[in-house]
Amino acid sequence: MAITFALSTQPVERVRADVLAVPMFADGRVGPGVDLVEAALGGALSAFVAEAGFTGKPDETLVVPIGTGPGPTAAVLVGLGEPATLSTDRLRRAAAAIARSSSRARSVVTTLLAAASDLAPRAAAQALAEGFALGSYQFLTYKSDGKPSKLSRVTVVGGRGAETRAGLDRGVAVADAVAWARDMVNEPAGAKSPAEFAAAARKLLTGRGVTVTVLTEAQLRAQKMGGVLGVGQGSVRGPRFVRVVYQPRGASQTKTLALVGKGVVFDSGGLSLKTASGMETMKTDMSGAAAVLAAMSALQALGVRHRVVAYAPMVENMPSGSAIRPGDVLRMRSGTTVEVLNTDAEGRLILADALSLAASEKASAIVDLATLTGACVVALGEKVAGVMGNQPNWVEQVRAAADRAGEPMWTLPLPKDYRKLLDSEVADLRNISTGSYGGALTAGLFLERFVDDVPWAHLDIAGPARAGSDDGELTKGGTGFGVRTLLELVSTLEGAPAARSTRRAAKKR
């Protein structure tokens, strides 16, 4: 259920809502509205809080009944931790905690922003809206006894007029995009063939100020996309390729940001078959494509002024009599030949074609997102993405956008010495390294071969694309990781890098 956000200059006791949400810091300070809670408890709030063991630490909540009048009948105290460490991330998580505690209520009034006066008002309001919307997210399509959240209205007291309103509106647009990505990731693989995934993307993007093109199998052959065709040939459900163009009025065609997303709707490993447990979450292997397409759906609403083009190759990696075999050689769109020695290293094969297309269409800069390697999860865990690329300044710009968006990433290297590990005896490249370690890095080095000299950043989101439990604004299952980063990046792009032809000319001089 979508949540509507309203601003009010009235005291909280005069706002009609089911629940009052009041922030509390670890040092005991409490936001406006606490007097209602104090009165309801006969002045015994401190004793009540102490008895409940509530200390105001981050994400902590305490529900307090406060009356039966026309105003709120229950209060939720939510912890914000130490005042000196308050951030938009913590505010987002606090809003998500309120949403979960108030899921049976229809309306909430909160003074959460009043406690965030030191934060930029627009960013704080955006974080609040994202937290409420994403914290109340549910995927109940297949639950016969699912109990959807009733929360549909949040009234914010203590905001700062137009700045707060703009932040709330932006937060809603971002959260809507993230929710679509989560829906697609959570959808069972059997219900999202490449053709169905492409159709869902087209439906999402209709009326969003973009142009959508879907390449069928025959068109992929005409484009000589050997990686996409090779991975997809083992499935009876043929591959697709979605290309989306956002061209706002006045935007330069020579400065284009390309977004590339891995769209493996199910990854069995192919003939290099995964274990049964290894396949359990492989419906999520299209998280990169979902994030890229979801981000494209919000560009117009956010007023993005740059030209952006998305590329989403979609395949199903299955074992069959027609599947590629270890030792087979594929010719990529770029003409590069790749010896496939492990069919479970398939994501890089389809991304190679997409990256090659983006580079040939003269992208000024590229970002790709992919649930690419288990090695990155080993290195960084399940909550942090790896980011690497061919130009430090561009990688840093992407990572900084991720920091502001609240999606943790860590920069990884692309060591030149490791490139020889991808040398093949019979082809230009092999799709896996000859070594046993550094798999996330050699996968990045493989992809780098297909971006020419375009500034490029690769986000390995294998860990944070899925959450094992509710955590802050994240809910168990698909997270939509990367959507917020991409939208922050395109909204704050620091002068798109020069077009490739210009860079080459500069090199010659």
Residue 499 in this model has a pLDDT that exceeds 70: no
Q: Which residues contact 21 (CB under 8 A, 6 or more apart)?
A: 75, 76, 78, 98, 102, 108, 109, 110, 111, 112
* Residue 68 pLDDT: 61
* Residue 506 pLDDT: 36
Residue 507 in this model has a pLDDT that exceeds 60: no
Burial of 303 (C-beta count, 10 Å sphere; 0-12/13-18/19+): exposed
Based on the residue annotation, tell me whether 362 is a catalytic residue of this protein.
Answer: no
Residue 297 in this model has a pLDDT that exceeds 50: yes
* Residue 28 pLDDT: 85
Q: List, in order of start, the domains of the chain with CATH numbers.
A: 4-139+147-178 (3.40.220.10), 210-508 (3.40.630.10)
Residue 501 in this model has a pLDDT that exceeds 60: no
Q: Which residues contact 280 (CB under 8 A, 6 or more apart)?
A: none
Torsion of CA 200, 202, 205, 206, to 10 degrees: -120
Residue 403 in this model has a pLDDT that exceeds 50: yes
Question: pTM value?
Answer: 0.95
How confident is residue 502, by pLDDT bands cut at 50, 70 and 90?
A: very low
pLDDT tens digit sequence for 46-91 = 899 999 999 999 999 999 988 766 678 899 999 999 999 999 999 9
How confident is residue 404, by pLDDT bands cut at 50, 70 and 90?
A: very high
pLDDT tens digit sequence for 473-484 = 999 999 999 999
* Residue 509 pLDDT: 30
Catalytic residue selected from 208, 274, 331, 383: 274
Report the alpha-carbon distance of residue 17 to residue 19 in Å, rounded. Answer: 6
Angle, helices 121-135/161-186, rounded to nearest 10 degrees: 30
Mean pLDDT over 305-333 rounds to 98
Mean pLDDT, all residues of the chain? 94
Does an H or E element contain 504, and which? Answer: helix 500-508
Based on the residue annotation, tell me whether 274 is a catalytic residue of this protein.
Answer: yes
Q: Which residues contact 147 (CB under 8 A, 6 or more apart)?
A: none
78: its two tokens: 């939510």
Catalytic residue selected from 165, 243, 333, 348: 348
Q: Which residue has the tokens 């299209």?
A: 286
pLDDT tens digit sequence for 408-435 = 999 999 999 999 999 999 999 999 999 9
Mean pLDDT over 339-355 rounds to 98
**508 against 5, higher pLDDT:** 5
